[in-house]
Structure formats: structure tokens, C-alpha cells
């Protein structure tokens, strides 16, 4: 390199005439090919792209430690050095000196459609050669060796050491180059990625960390980074077996050495979060070499008091509001029970717009506007606002003005214009509003009430007018989607059956019309064969067409049978829902009032049967009775006392 530098320095004194002398190849020794080419480019005022080089030889030298001298390594001795114990020693050094001939670049024909890149990872511990999509490989002699040589030259320009590290260039190029030699040329339709060198990547040290997983669950930012201040994690609920805290132990890293021969140091791990707390019997501790896991032994919410973590399953608060607690989202599966004590009828125990979710929720007072309660068991001692919503398995509400959905049962003291959706509804007093359920019992009914049921509606005493009592399985959410799906499927199958039958009838008519002519044609063929005459091809074609027609008729018949069977299955399923309607009863133990309507809605065929009880009539039971033509009519009978 010193000689080359001196040669360039002498050139500074030359005249312009001498500087423009045609470039002649020059042989130099260098430890960095890329920098040497750059210097040559500047010295001879040539674009770097116009310069190329030929690698004559490479000498590899190493220093085993700071006190030793540089020693040249024979290629046969390199495997002895290429070990983690030597290469990952921070005092070990390695370098290469390359003897190259710098010359002008001349593109060869096989390179004209070659798109080759060499890329490295951040540490430069792994080098990839990428033949880009669109590259055309021409089947010239020694193509694979030419490509490998080109990749090595690109690595040298980038300052990488060559011929020392593991690579898969030859095996990676085998298939593509062999195909090019056989076919003359091959176009790559996707990138071909080749591992050109793999060294020792450094593995960074792992600092210790204390991760409060139970708090991470309750991040109140949405996907856009907006914060919902109503959900500020008043409690952190967990399920049984859930990891609530994780301590990651510090772990030393491993130094590396990259493909330039440089040592990659790593720092020592930091230890600053070692647990200094204890846990109660409700939290299990599992320790391994890498971490310590703290797991919930039961569902509940996490509490940290006096340096001790615990899990509790009952919480008592005076109120739940935006100001005091924000929403409480403990989760239905966590076994958390919440008690809200505010019972002042002028205040809301659960405030406007907040949400409460737990396994069990008991509220002594009122539920405010737009509030939402979810739990397995809900009990409301006060009244609910008309815009509030409650979802539960079982629920008891004193005064319901909002929406209540209980999968199993709902017990309401007074329904005031609200809505109940449940399997079994028990309502002491109904003043307007709507109920949907399998079985509905109302002790005292006011005016303008609407009830949908499947099995029975029972009224203890009717005091108001203009009430609608409807038996309709399709109006019950538990059945609605399935019934709608079956009805839609029934309609599609009916239409498909009609179309298929029309096609079958058309093809059958054509078959029957063609059959006599085909019999005559077959007879002609037999006669010609007996006389030694080759049958006409037109005869054979017509017979084959007739055979295909016969197969199509048979296939259509089979398809009709399949559709009919599927349609019958759908009708049976709809009939099973209708069976409940046919057995349903509307019972009023008191007297009927004016403008009361009792409706039975059938599914197959769709039909609505309405009955208007006579005002003043007492103790009646209304049901459906089958008549002779397999239809149904509304019947009335007295309730047995």
C-alpha cells in the first residue's frame, strides 16, 4: 500500500498531458481493496465504475494475542484457528493482504443482464449475495465459478475477508447454473438469495427486568394511541393460573467476530430489579434458570400492600364513577365479586358512562345513564336508567327502565318501559316495556306491554289495556339467527329444486323423444356389421350423444333426490322449533282487558293466528288446536282451579 501511495504522490507533479495518458494496468498490494480502487479513481480522474481488478493472491495473517507477532496462516492451517475459543478471544487479530491488478472494467457478454447485490446484517456477521428477479443467466462455460469470483470481488470492495468463513455459494448456485448450461439461458422470476459468509454474531447481554404483567393487561390506549381516562385500571383482575409477575434474570451475552475480522464486544448484564417483595399463599412461584414466574392460584384481583402481593376475590366500594374509580373491568372469568354500597335514591351507585365487569356484581343503589354491567350474577337494589345495559347469566333487578339480557333467568320487581331478554322471566309488575323469553311470568300487568315467548306466557292479573302477547320462536334471540338461517336455506333449496326439476323434465322429454330413433340407429349398425360394412362415424357420434344425455338425466335425478333430502332435513329442524309454538300456552289467571291481542306465529308454513280475548273474561288459557285439514286454530279453555 505504501508503494501505491508513493506512486500516486509522484503523479501529483505530472503535467495535464501526462495525466490524460491512457490507463495502464498496475499491480499493488493492499489490505482494503475498496479504498485502493477509490484512490486510483481519484488519481487517474476515472469514475470508480470504470475500474476493475484481478485478484492475484491473498495472504492471511493472525496475532494470537497482544504480545505475539503477526504470523502468516497457510490455508490448510485455517481450520485449526477457525474455532470459537480463538476467534472470540478479544486479543486475537486477523487481517488479509491482497495482491491485485487494477485495470479498466470491460463488461463481458454474460454479465449484461446480471443484477447482483451483496448485503450484510448490522453487525456484518452474515453476508448475502442476491441475484435479483429479472436476472438472466447465460449458459457460458464456467458460469458458476464466474459468479462466485464476482461475489468475492464485491466482498473485497466492501472490506470483507474472503475464503475463511462458512458459505453456501456453490450449492446455492448449482441448480440455476446447471439449468442455464442446459437451456442456454435462464431468467430468474424471483430473488435468489445465497449465503456468502457466516461468522460469529454477537449475542447481547440480557439485563434483568421485573415485568408486572397484570398491569400490562389494562393499558388504556387504543390502537391510535388515544387514552380512555374512564378505564384507568382501578383493579387488575387475573384468572387462575395466569402469570401476574415475571422476573427475567440477567444473562451474560456472547461476543462475536464479523466477516471483516473485527471483534464485537458485548457489555455485562445489568442487575437492578431483583425482587424484594414477598407473596401470599394465593400466588405460586416457579423458578428456572432464565426467569421467575409468579402465578395466580385463584381468580381475583392483585393487591400490593406492605411489600406483599396477594390476590383477593371480593371488593367493596361506595360508588363506581368516572371521578372515583373509572370503569372496573375485572372480567367474568376471574371470580371477582364487586359490592357497590351507595343506596341514596338521588344518586347513582354506578355512574354515567362507566362499565363494570366481574363474576358477581351486587349494587345496592341505582345504575346511571349509558352505564354497562356484565357479570354472571347481577343484583341491582335500585333502578336502572333507560339507556343502561345489563348482561348476565342470572339477574335480579328492583326497577328496570333500561335493557337487561340474562341467559338463564331474570327476576324483576318492576319493569318500567325497559326490555328483558332471557330464557325465563319473572316480573312482579310490568308497566309498559317488552319481554322476550322462553317462559314469561308477570304477576301484575299494566298497559302497553309486549311479550314474546316460545313455551308459555302467564299473567297473574291484567290491569291495563292495549297489551300484545305473542308466541313466536323467531323473535327470541337464542333461536332467531338459527331460524333465519334455516328459512333462508329452505328458500334457496326450494328454488334449486324447482330449477333442477325443470331441467330434468326437459332432458327426460328429449331422451324419450330420441329413444326410438336411437333404437333404429343401433339396428342399422348391427345390420351393417353383419354385412361387413364399417358403421358410419355419424351413427357412433349420435349414439354417444344419446348416452351422455342418459347419464345427465340420471345425474339430475340423483341431484333432485339429494336436494329433497336436504330440504326435508331443514324442514324437520324448523318443525322442531315450531313444536314448541304448537304446544305453547298463553294463560291469564285474572280478567282480560280491552284491546288485548294474542298471536301465534307458525314457521312452516309461515302463518299468523290472532285471537282477541273478550274483555272481562277471567281465568282463561289460550292455545292452538289442530283441525281436520292438518291446519291449526286458536282455542280457549278455562283454567282449572
Asked whether residue 10 carries a pLDDT value surpassing 70, the answer given is no
pLDDT of residue 627: 82
Q: Mark whether 186 and 216 lie in a shared domain.
A: no
Task: Give the DSSP H or E segment for 29.
Answer: strand 26-30
Distances (CA, A) of 452 to 175, 456, 484, 487, 612: 73, 9, 17, 20, 16
Q: Mark whether 425 and 481 lie in a shared domain.
A: yes
Any domain includes 150? yes
pLDDT of residue 630: 67
pLDDT of residue 605: 76
Q: Mark whether 223 and 108 lie in a shared domain.
A: no
Residue with cell 314469561: 440
Any domain includes 537? no
Q: Mark whether 606 and 482 lie in a shared domain.
A: yes
Share of the chain above pLDDT 90, in %: 66
Q: Mark whether 130 and 23 lie in a shared domain.
A: yes
Q: Mark whether 218 and 153 lie in a shared domain.
A: no
Distances (CA, A) of 65 to 76, 90, 202, 265, 289: 21, 8, 20, 16, 34
Any domain includes 454? yes
Domain stops at, among 311, 336, 365: 311
Q: Mark whether 152 and 218 lie in a shared domain.
A: no
CA R_g for the chain = 44
Domain stops at, among 198, 227, 261: 198
Q: Mark whether 486 and 428 lie in a shared domain.
A: yes
Q: Model confidence at 598, in pLDDT bands (50, 70, 90)?
A: very high
Any domain includes 521? no
Asked whether residue 6 carries a pLDDT value surpassing 50, the answer given is no
Any domain includes 329? no
Q: Mark whether 103 and 180 lie in a shared domain.
A: yes
Q: Mark whether 293 and 156 lie in a shared domain.
A: no
Say which residues have a Cβ less than 8 Å from residue 252's Cβ, sequence separation at least 6: 205, 268, 269
Angle between helices 477-530 and 537-582 (to 10 degrees): 160
pLDDT of residue 14: 40
pLDDT of residue 519: 84
Asked whether residue 426 carries a pLDDT value surpassing 60, the answer given is yes
Any domain includes 323? no
Any domain includes 540? no
Q: How many domains does the chain have?
A: 3
Instruction: Give me 120's grid cell.
Output: 450484510
Asked whether residue 382 carries a pLDDT value surpassing 80, the answer given is yes
Give yes or no for a cis peptide into 402 (omega within 30° of 0): no
Any domain includes 563? yes
Q: Mark whether 175 and 242 lie in a shared domain.
A: no
Q: Mark whether 68 and 132 lie in a shared domain.
A: yes
Residue-wise pLDDT for 16-36, tens only, equals 444 445 788 999 999 999 999
Mean pLDDT to the nearest integer, 344-361: 93
pLDDT of residue 232: 54
Domain extent, residue 438, equals: 417-510+557-641
Domain stops at, among 255, 285, 311: 311
DSSP string, 188-257: -SS-EEEEEEE-B--B--B--EEE-HHHHTT--B-TTS-B-TT---SS-EE-TT-EEEEEEPPB--B-EE
Amino acid at each position: 500500500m505504501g508503494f501505491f501511495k508513493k506512486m500516486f504522490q509522484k503523479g501529483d507533479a505530472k503535467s495535464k498531458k501526462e495525466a490524460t495518458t491512457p490507463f495502464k494496468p498496475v499491480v499493488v498490494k493492499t489490505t482494503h481493496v475498496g479504498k485502493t480502487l477509490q484512490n486510483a479513481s481519484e488519481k487517474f480522474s476515472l469514475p470508480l465504475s470504470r475500474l476493475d481488478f484481478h485478484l492475484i493472491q491473498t495472504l492471511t495473517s493472525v496475532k494470537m494475542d497482544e504480545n505475539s507477532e503477526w504470523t502468516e496462516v497457510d490455508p490448510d492451517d485455517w481450520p485449526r484457528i477457525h474455532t470459537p475459543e480463538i476467534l472470540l478471544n478479544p486479543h486475537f487479530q486477523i487481517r488479509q493482504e491482497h495482491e491485485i491488478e487494477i485495470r479498466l472494467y470491460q463488461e463481458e457478454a454474460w454479465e449484461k443482464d446480471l443484477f447482483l447485490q451483496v448485503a450484510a446484517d448490522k453487525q456484518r456477521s452474515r453476508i448475502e449475495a442476491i441475484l435479483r428477479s429479472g436476472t438472466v443467466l447465460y449458459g457460458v462455460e464456467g458460469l458458476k465459478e464466474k459468479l462466485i469470483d464476482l461475489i468475492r470481488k464485491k466482498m473485497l470492495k466492501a472490506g470483507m475477508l474472503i475464503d475463511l468463513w462458512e458459505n453456501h455459494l456453490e450449492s446455492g448456485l448449482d441448480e440455476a447454473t446447471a439449468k442455464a448450461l442446459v437451456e442456454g439461458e435462464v431468467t430468474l422470476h424471483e430473488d435468489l438469495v445465497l449465503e456468502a459468509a457466516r461468522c460469529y454474531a454477537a449475542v447481547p447481554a440480557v439485563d434483568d427486568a421485573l415485568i408486572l404483567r397484570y398491569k400490562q393487561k389494562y393499558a388504556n390506549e387504543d390502537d391510535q394511541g388515544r387514552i380512555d381516562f374512564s378505564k384507568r385500571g382501578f383493579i387488575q383482575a387475573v384468572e387462575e393460573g395466569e402469570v401476574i409477575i415475571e422476573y427475567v434474570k440477567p444473562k451474560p451475552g456472547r461476543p462475536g467476530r464479523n466477516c471483516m475480522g473485527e471483534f464485537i464486544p458485548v457489555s455485562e448484564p445489568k442487575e437492578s430489579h431483583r425482587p424484594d417483595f414477598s407473596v401470599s399463599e394465593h400466588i405460586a412461584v416457579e423458578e428456572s434458570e432464565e426467569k421467575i414466574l409468579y402465578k395466580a392460584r385463584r381468580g381475583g384481583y392483585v393487591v400490593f400492600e406492605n411489600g406483599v402481593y396477594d390476590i383477593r376475590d371480593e371488593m367493596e366500594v361506595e360508588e363506581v364513577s368516572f371521578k372515583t374509580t373509572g370503569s372496573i373491568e375485572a372480567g367474568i372469568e376471574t371470580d371477582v365479586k364487586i359490592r357497590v354500597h351507595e343506596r341514596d335514591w338521588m344518586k347513582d351507585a354506578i355512574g354515567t358512562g362507566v362499565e363494570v365487569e366481574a363474576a358477581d356484581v351486587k349494587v345496592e343503589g341505582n345504575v346511571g345513564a349509558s352505564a354497562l354491567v356484565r357479570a354472571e350474577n347481577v343484583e341491582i337494589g335500585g333502578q336502572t336508567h333507560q339507556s343502561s345495559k345489563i348482561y348476565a347469566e342470572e339477574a335480579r333487578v328492583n326497577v328496570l327502565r333500561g335493557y337487561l339480557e340474562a341467559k338463564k333467568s331474570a327476576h324483576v320487581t318492576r319493569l318500567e318501559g325497559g326490555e328483558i331478554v332471557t330464557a325465563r322471566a319473572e316480573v312482579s309488575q310490568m308497566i309498559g316495556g317488552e319481554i322476550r323469553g322462553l317462559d314469561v311470568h308477570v304477576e301484575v300487568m299494566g298497559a302497553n306491554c309486549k311479550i314474546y315467548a316460545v313455551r308459555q306466557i302467564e299473567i297473574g292479573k291484567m290491569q291495563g289495556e292495549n297489551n300484545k302477547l305473542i308466541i313466536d320462536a323467531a323473535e327470541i334471540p337464542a333461536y332467531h339467527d338459527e331460524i333465519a338461517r334455516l328459512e333462508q336455506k329452505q328458500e334457496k333449496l326450494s328454488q334449486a329444486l324447482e330449477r333442477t326439476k325443470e331441467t330434468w323434465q326437459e332432458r327426460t322429454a328429449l331422451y324419450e323423444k330420441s329413444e326410438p330413433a336411437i333404437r333404429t340407429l343401433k339396428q342399422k349398425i348391427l345390420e351393417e356389421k353383419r354385412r361387413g360394412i364399417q358403421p358410419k362415424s355419424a351413427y357412433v357420434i349420435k349414439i354417444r350423444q344419446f348416452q351422455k344425455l342418459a347419464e345427465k338425466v340420471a345425474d339430475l335425478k340423483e341431484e333432485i333426490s339429494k336436494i329433497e333430502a336436504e330440504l326435508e332435513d331443514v324442514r324437520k329442524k324448523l318443525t322442531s322449533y315450531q313444536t314448541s309454538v304448537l304446544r305453547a300456552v298463553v294463560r291469564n289467571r285474572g280478567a282480560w282487558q280491552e284491546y288485548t291481542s294474542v298471536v301465534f306465529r307458525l314457521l312452516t308454513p309461515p302463518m299468523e293466528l290472532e285471537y282477541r280475548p273478550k274483555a272481562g273474561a277471567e281465568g282463561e288459557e289460550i292455545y292452538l288446536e289442530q283441525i281436520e285439514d292438518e291446519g291449526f286454530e286458536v282455542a280457549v279453555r278455562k283454567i282449572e282451579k
